[in-house]
Structure formats: structure tokens, C-alpha cells
Amino acid sequence: MYPAHEPGKRTDSLNMPHHWAMVVDVDRCTGCEACVVACHAENNIPTVGDDQAARGRAMHWIRVERYWEGEFPDAKLRFQPVMCQQCESAPCEPVCPTYASYHTADGLNAQVYNRCIGTRFCANACPYNVRFFNFFNPVWAKPLHLQLNPDVSVRSVGIMEKCTFCVQRIHAGEETAKAEKRELKDGEIKPACVQSCSPMALVFGDLDDPNSEVSRLSKSGRSVKLLGDLGTQPNASYLQKT
């Protein structure tokens, strides 16, 4: 159905200026979850409450997965931050009946809240379980409503949402660079999670720029794709623990 995609290579017909990608260094991740908190703050993600979270409805666009390896006294803990992989061959895109989930020219998987009617097909199709549904109307108890980010819309009940690589920051960065009549610098645009990561385990940038940090790291020998054998061609790479 779709022409063959080579990872890292873009078809030029759409004149895509950037190819956003993220690299996660699993070795550096300490599991502090500052990225999770920052993401909640930046993207107006509601906290669902302990009862709903126990029911499995917590909405963490980025989550830090925790895996135990080995037995006591040699038990090791491995942290794996998982967010939307912005797959090139995303299984969530063809299945949305209203085009709420589609692929932008920048390599992002966009979720258009206004088009979403809540069939939840995309969430079933996502192998990474990174899509979250608003089962109820989100509520921010006063005065927390003052903390909402005006750059990001607030979603209502029945809408699917997920990590957007902080597309509002990407657009803001692109507009700033355009206004100042210059190219974007590598590392200028930082999603909230990348910005808040103190061990600098998360790196964000443009794969089309051969000199960017993400280009360099994604070619590293430690770089793997999460669930790469499924053929989703994710735009996020994981640097394995050595």
C-alpha cells in the first residue's frame, strides 16, 4: 500500500525542511521522571486521580518504564522512557476514520484533536501503548487552572491524545528563526522532557541535518529502535546500556 521507506531518507516530493527525531540514552536515564512532570506541565495533561489511575487510565505522554533484571543480591533496575515514537510507518495513521492521526511533512505523527471522534482504533493499533484517551472531561482544581499552558489546547472528553514532540515549541522555534532570518541551530528547540532531563538522556533534533546531535547518536553502534522488528520505523532511537 505504501512505497518502501528507508529510515533516514525522505521523499523529496513534499519539500520537507526538517525530520524531527529523538534519541534516548537508556544508560544515562536515572528514572527521576522529571520528564514526565515537565510533559504534564507543558502539555496540559490532566491528572486523573488515584482511583482512575488504579483503573489503568493514567495519562502520561512520556512514561519511564522500569524493568528489574536478575535476582537479589544482583538485581538491576533498567529505566526506559517511552513516548510516542512518531513512526514513519505508523500503524495508528491508516486506521483513523477521520484523519485525526496523520503524518506531517516534518516526520511527526500529528493528532488533530478537533477531528477525533474517539473510536480508539489508533490506541489499539499502537504497539507502544503511547496513546491516551480522555475518558472523562479533565478537571483542574483551582488554582491549578492558572498553570495551564496557553500554547497548547485543552482536550475534552472523548478525544485521543499523545506526545507531539512538543510541536508548539517546534513551531515557536521555527517562527523565531524565520523572523530572525536565520537557520535553526541544533539544540535550539527542546521539548519539555528534553529540557528537563538533568542527565541529558533525551536528545532532540533534526535528522536531516547531518551535523546534529541526533544524527550523530542515531548512527551509534548502541542505537536500536524500540520494537523495530514490527516495521513501524520509529523516529526515536534508543541507545542501549553498555
Partner 1 sequence: MKKSEEQVQKDLLRPLFESSAGYWFAVAAAASLVLAGVFALLYGFYSGIGVWGLNSPVFWAFDITNFVFWIGISHAGTLISAILRLANATWRRPVTRCAEAITVFALSIGAIIPVFHIGRPWLAFWMFPYPSERGIWPNLRSPLAWDFFAINTYLIGSISFLFLPMIPDFALIRDRATGWRQKVYGTLSLGWQGTPRQWHRLETAMHIMAIAIIPVAVSVHTIVSWDFAMTPVPMWRSTIFGPYFVCGAIFSGIAALILAMALLRKFLRLEEYLQPLHFSNLGKLLLTFSLLWFYFTFAERLTTWYGNGESEMTVFWSTVRGQFAPLFWAMVTFNFLIPVPILAIKRLRTITGTVIASIFIVVGMWLERFLIIVPSLSRKYLPYAWGSYRPTWVEMTLMASGFGLMALLYLVFSKVVPMIAIWELKVGMQEPHHAGASEAVAAHAAPGKPAIGDLSS
Partner 2 sequence: MKAIYALFSDPGSAQDAFDALRRSGPSMGIDAGKIVVVTSEPFEGYDFSDEHARSPMFPLAAFGGLAGGLFGYWLASFTQTSYPLPTGGMPIVTSWTNGIIIYEVTMLGAILTTLLTLLVTAGLPDYKPKLSDPEIWNGKLLVGVTDPPDGARAALEATLRQAGALTVKEFPAVAA
Residue ranges binding partner 2 (CB under 8 A) = 1-3, 5, 10-11, 13-14, 88, 93-94, 99, 102-105, 107
User: Of these partners, partner 1, partner 2, none, which one is at the site of residue 103 (CB under 5 to 8 Å by kind)?
Assistant: partner 2
User: Of these partners, partner 2, partner 1, none, which one is at the site of residue 134 (CB under 5 to 8 Å by kind)?
Assistant: partner 1
User: Of these partners, partner 1, partner 2, none, which one is at the site of residue 132 (CB under 5 to 8 Å by kind)?
Assistant: partner 1
Q: Is residue 115 involved in binding partner 1 (CB under 8 A)?
A: yes
| Half-sphere exposure for 119 (CA within 13 Å, toward CB) | 14
Specify the residue, 107 or 205, whose C-beta has the smaller distance to partner 2.
107
Query: 34 Cβ partners below 8 Å, 6+ apart?
Result: 196, 197, 198
Site for partner 1 in 187-226 (CB under 8 A): none
Q: Is residue 157 involved in binding partner 1 (CB under 8 A)?
A: yes
Q: Is residue 116 involved in binding partner 1 (CB under 8 A)?
A: yes
| String of DSSP letters for 37-48 | HHHHHHHTPPP-
HEC sequence for 3-33: CCCCCCCCCHHHCCCCCEEEEEECCCCCCCC
The torsion angles phi and psi of 146, rounded to 5 degrees, stand at: -75, -15
Q: Is residue 111 involved in binding partner 1 (CB under 8 A)?
A: no
Query: 67 Cβ partners below 8 Å, 6+ apart?
Result: 77, 78, 80
**Which range binds partner 1 by CB under 8 A, 8-16, 31-39, 116-124, 203-211?**
116-124
Specify the residue, 3 or 221, whose C-beta has the smaller distance to partner 2.
3
Q: Is residue 118 involved in binding partner 1 (CB under 8 A)?
A: yes
Q: Is residue 127 involved in binding partner 1 (CB under 8 A)?
A: yes
Q: Is residue 125 involved in binding partner 1 (CB under 8 A)?
A: yes
The count of other CB atoms within 10 Å of the CB of residue 131 is: 22
Whole-Å CA distances, 47 to 33, 36, 44, 60, 153: 15, 12, 9, 9, 16
Q: Which three cell numbers stand for residue 48?
A: 486523573
User: Of these partners, partner 1, partner 2, none, which one is at the site of residue 5 (CB under 5 to 8 Å by kind)?
Assistant: partner 2
**Which burial class, exposed, middle or buried, applies to 56 when counting CB atoms under 10 A from its CB (0-12, 13-18, 19+)?**
exposed
Specify the residue, 114 or 211, whose C-beta has the smaller distance to partner 1.
114
Contacts with partner 1 by CB under 8 A lie at 1, 52, 55-59, 63, 65-67, 80, 82, 91, 94-99, 114-121, 123-125, 127-129, 131-137, 157-160, 227, 230-232
